[in-house]
Copies of this chain bind each other. A is one copy, B any other.
Amino acid sequence: MAATASTDPFGILVGKVNADLERERKAASFNVQELTQFIDGGVERTKRRKELENLLYNEPVFRNIDRLMMERDQTYEQAVLKSVKLFDWSRKYNWSEEDFELACRLANHDLAMTLHHAMFVPAIERLASDEQKAKWLPKALRYEWIGTYAQTELGHGTNIMELETTATFDPTRDEFVMNSPTITAMKWWPGALGKSSNMAIVLAQLILDGDHCGLQPFLVPLRSLDDHTPLPGITVGDIGPKMALNSIDNGFLIMKNVRIPRENMFMKNAEVTREGQLMMRGVDKANYATMILVRVKIVHWAYEGLSDGATTVIRYSAVRRQSSLKPGEKEEQVLNYQSQQYKILPALASAYAFLMAYHCLHRHYSRVYAQLMDGNTSHLAELHCQTSAIKAYTSDVTVRLLEICRQSCGGHGYLLSGGIGLLCSSALPLVTVEGENSVLYQQTARYLMKQVAKAVVGEKTSEAVAYLHIKDSGPDPGNMLRSAADCLNLDTLVHLYRHMACSVVTGAARQLQIAMEQGAEQHVAWNNNMVSLIRAAKVHSQLYVVEAFVAEIRQLSKTASVSLVSVLTSLCQFYTLHSIVENAGNFLATQTITPDELEVIRKAELQVMAAVRHDAVPLVDAFDLHDVSLHSALGCYDGNVYERLYALAQKSTLNKSQVHPAYYKHLRGLIKEGQNQGRQSKL
């Protein structure tokens, strides 16, 4: 593992590993490498990752610690350089999609033009006719075109049906005329739209002979392929600085009578003929699957964020000593305070839980996608429900827990050199992108309500809501937990979780039903019960993650060493018990557990937390995050925290001169005036 620290982004040859960290590592109860290989997806993937790390981190631009201090323009410029490097390598070495994604991750997604591969190219593959594809794809893959996908507008995000951008067919010239008719119609937010892209796929309202004919995608050239200047009628630019992710030039786009040939409408799903007739070919479900895949990927980003945050705060908590447990004794490792463990170990457990949930969700996606390719859409709604729920839930929790990790670094967590601040700010968009979470929970709730309705009348329900039938099968809850040992039985805990979920979800359905029976219109009833519907969707999501964690460990236990299964089981027990304690209100209100049982659960939670604490450092080491990628003075592998904080402080732009220019401009006058007054008062 020591190789992790080989390429020091701080340029400080500290070398010696902190003694506390060394001790923590020696005490590991399991083989860290075995876990790393499981996380990577096998020995080969670990090897490949190390190869790519070598390639990337030998380039100064990827290693650059100064990025924490950089101004916006530099940040963007360095990110363009990094993107160009990755594009170049990808073209040169013919990288697989998996390799490209891994490289983006190793670059912390701190790139300018990720949408080109993530959205532009896939959208051409999905939306273009074969003829269009043959013409356009090579240009995109050779990077003659740098493209983005322009959907959201200044006034329109969630409800895309109300997008205002228009594409009016002009039969006299066989062209579409693109317009942004109002200020709220300007395209707003697309990544790489502001300065980088020369092409965009623009979603617009198709207008044929004065009639609005629905949304269609159009290929719109933005900038000259020769000198990158914006084309006539195009007003394009950056939307301004953000809380983080300032490497990306999220942009605005205003079009004024921009003419494109008719052939630039994507023609796979619909076609406009030379005569201006719209020919629909039916909506392509594969299209829908792509949106779902992005949500699945966000679950992995949530895992990535939490693994970064947990690594930083756990290593720092092992290194940092503050106050003593027993008066008069040596200062204690912060990691040994129960309060600190209770704040940070849930992030560690959630990182593993979300990785397991990602594995399950991705397999589910692959199954349904294969069915889709065979024309079978019967499981699409279920997949949509699950991905909406798990994207929303994991991103919500990640943002919340990362902030707790940051706070648990104390004051230094606020310094950018600590790394974890930028990590928190960078994770924030996960809750609003690709479906705002409250909206996603409602989509899940809609599915759940339909399933409850089916269950009530005895119709078959989907796998996703098997727990709705739990009361027909397993034992009733109530006094199942008499001792801490009972609480470590994962089957029991899952059983209780299902009971609770069943009660909450059916309870929400009942309330909705009552509201309508009392005469409320459906949409009014829905709005008046949104809070409990969202609660139902959250509970559904929590159960999914718990079940996924348990199932993955069961699967792993067939091949992995006993010690690895044991430590992951402890993590899973802790995760589940902690979830129950955090949701005690739901468990008690549904009478799934009694107040006495809650006490037993709380004791068991703290017992198993002690086991997790024992392996906390090895468990974050297993993520095997390179110091360059972690980018944190607090979380570095060798634990030389204070040397790095000081080294980075010296790079502050305010330290360029001993006396800052602000002194000469503003401060000197104030002080000199005071000195004058002082002299006069003595006269």
Q: Roughly how many angstroms separate A667 CA and B162 CA in the complex, as a whole number?
A: 35
Which one, B325, B424, B429, B598, contacts A414 given CB within 8 A? B429
**Chain B proximity of A181: nearest CB distance (Å):** 14
Contact A157 B410 (CB under 8 A): yes
1/0 per residue, CB under 8 A from B, across A392-414: the answer is 00000001100100110011011
Q: Which residue of B lies closest to A522 (CB)?
A: B326
Tell me which residues from 63 to 86 in chain A have a Cβ below 8 Å from any Cβ of chain B: 68-69, 71-73, 76-77, 80-81, 84
Q: Roughly how many angstroms separate A288 CA and B155 CA in the complex, as a whole number?
A: 53
A555: Cβ under 8 A from any B Cβ = no
The residues of B that contact A606 with a CB separation of less than 8 Å are 528, 531
Q: Which residue of B lies closest to A587 (CB)?
A: B585
1/0 per residue, CB under 8 A from B, across A557-594: the answer is 00000000000000000000000010111101111000
The residues of B that contact A460 with a CB separation of less than 8 Å are none
Q: Roughly how many angstroms separate A212 CA and B84 CA in the complex, as a whole number?
A: 60
Tell me which residues from 612 to 651 in chain A have a Cβ below 8 Å from any Cβ of chain B: 642-643, 645-646, 648-651
**Chain B proximity of A388: nearest CB distance (Å):** 14
1/0 per residue, CB under 8 A from B, across A339-365: the answer is 110110000000000000000000000
Contact B240 A651 (CB under 8 A): yes
The residues of B that contact A196 with a CB separation of less than 8 Å are 662, 667
Q: Roughly how many angstroms separate A444 CA and B25 CA in the complex, as a whole number?
A: 36
A201: Cβ under 8 A from any B Cβ = no
Contact A238 B649 (CB under 8 A): yes
The residues of B that contact A99 with a CB separation of less than 8 Å are none
Q: Roughly how many angstroms separate A112 CA and B654 CA in the complex, as a whole number?
A: 13
1/0 per residue, CB under 8 A from B, across A238-249: the answer is 111111000001
A331: Cβ under 8 A from any B Cβ = yes
A69-B240, A588-B595, A606-B531 known; A322+B195 contact, CB < 8 A: no
A76-B660, A411-B152, A595-B591 known; A143+B243 contact, CB < 8 A: no
Q: Roughly how many angstroms separate A675 CA and B436 CA in the complex, as a whole number?
A: 39
Q: Which residue of B lies closest to A581 (CB)?
A: B585
- Interface residue stretch chosen among A1-9, A102-110, A226-234, A289-297: A226-234
- Interface residue stretch chosen among A118-126, A183-191, A370-378, A467-475: A183-191
Q: Which residue of B lies closest to A411 (CB)?
A: B432
Which one, B154, B195, B238, B675, contacts A225 given CB within 8 A? B675
1/0 per residue, CB under 8 A from B, across A133-157: the answer is 0000011001111100000101111
